[in-house]
């Protein structure tokens, strides 16, 4: 089954005005079921725009987007995906547990059921002991884990992630990368992941999709097969070879 299918996608902002911007041009992308795909490219190339189009947060100018075989708008209404941004976006007045419960609450899930599910998700991201805390009492890395738990609360088949670790220090970032891979292995979720980091893209991904400068187009799709997704994998020759391959694709 195909998790995401993008065909002939073009996005123009302010169409017909003097400040018209062609952000994306003729983009085709397929993400397989259970596949981890990273989008990488220069700033302003449309990576986040493409993610928002998949999420149906904005509409395409031309082309089509389907998620889990449904039009993007229907997939959004059916909560076929979870989404996490660079900023955790937690509600400061809600406890960690109640932040994770929010998407379930919006779906009308009973209080007992959503509490049980939130506790499961917090256990998954290693924050079960912090369920009663408030976001302001947590570190940045812990807040991001809460945001991931919230995105996973409805058990979506797809995760959309826009630089979720970009503001974190290197050690926290690497730890959360490993935790994310473990979560994906447990849930079987497909992932579309936006990043500016070549090493992060290579470590996490089954495939790295390289985009050109604006208007954004897909210029390369690089498969990554590491011996393992851990410290051994980070030291493997193929890891450094793929970093070089992605870097060359970006430069060309």
Question: What average pLDDT does the segment 76-98 reach?
Answer: 89
185-203 b/e (C-beta count within 10 Å ≥ 16 → b)? eebebbbbbbbebbbbbbb
Do residues 176 and 197 lie in contact, with contact meaning Cβ atoms separated by under 8 Å?
A: no
For the stretch 173-232, pLDDT in tens is 888 888 889 888 888 889 999 999 999 999 999 999 999 999 999 999 999 999 999 899
For the stretch 16-29, pLDDT in tens is 888 999 999 999 99
Question: How far apart are the C-alpha atoms of 196 and 170, rounded to whole Å?
Answer: 14
Q: Where are the domains of the chain?
A: 90-155
Which pLDDT belongs to residue 8?
96
Question: What average pLDDT does the segment 243-249 reach?
Answer: 97
Statement: residue 112 has pLDDT above 90: yes
């Amino acid at each position: 089954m195909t998790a995401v299918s993008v065909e002939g996608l073009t996005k123009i902002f302010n169409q017909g005005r003097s400040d018209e911007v062609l952000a994306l041009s003729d983009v085709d992308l397929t993400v397989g079921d259970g596949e981890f795909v990273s989008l990488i490219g220069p700033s302003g190339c449309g990576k986040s725009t493409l993610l928002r189009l998949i999420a149906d947060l904005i509409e395409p100018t031309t082309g089509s987007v389907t998620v889990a075989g449904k039009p993007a708008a229907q997939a959004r209404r059916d909560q076929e995906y979870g989404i996490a941004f660079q900023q955790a976006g937690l509600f400061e007045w809600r406890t960690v547990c109640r932040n994770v419960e929010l998407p379930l609450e919006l779906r009308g899930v009973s209080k007992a059921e959503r509490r049980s599910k939130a506790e499961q998700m917090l256990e998954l991201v290693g924050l079960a002991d912090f369920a009663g805390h408030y976001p302001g009492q947590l570190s940045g890395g812990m807040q991001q884990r809460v945001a991931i738990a919230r995105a996973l609360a409805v058990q979506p088949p797809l995760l959309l992630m826009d630089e979720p670790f970009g503001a974190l220090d290197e050690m926290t970032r690497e730890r959360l990368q490993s935790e994310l891979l473990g979560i994906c292995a447990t849930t079987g979720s497909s992932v579309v992941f936006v990043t500016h980091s070549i090493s992060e893209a290579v470590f996490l991904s089954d495939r790295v999709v390289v985009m050109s400068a604006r208007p954004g187009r897909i210029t390369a799709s690089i498969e990554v097969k590491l011996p393992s997704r851990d410290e051994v994998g980070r030291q493997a020759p193929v890891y450094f070879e793929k970093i070089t391959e992605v870097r060359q694709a970006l430069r060309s």
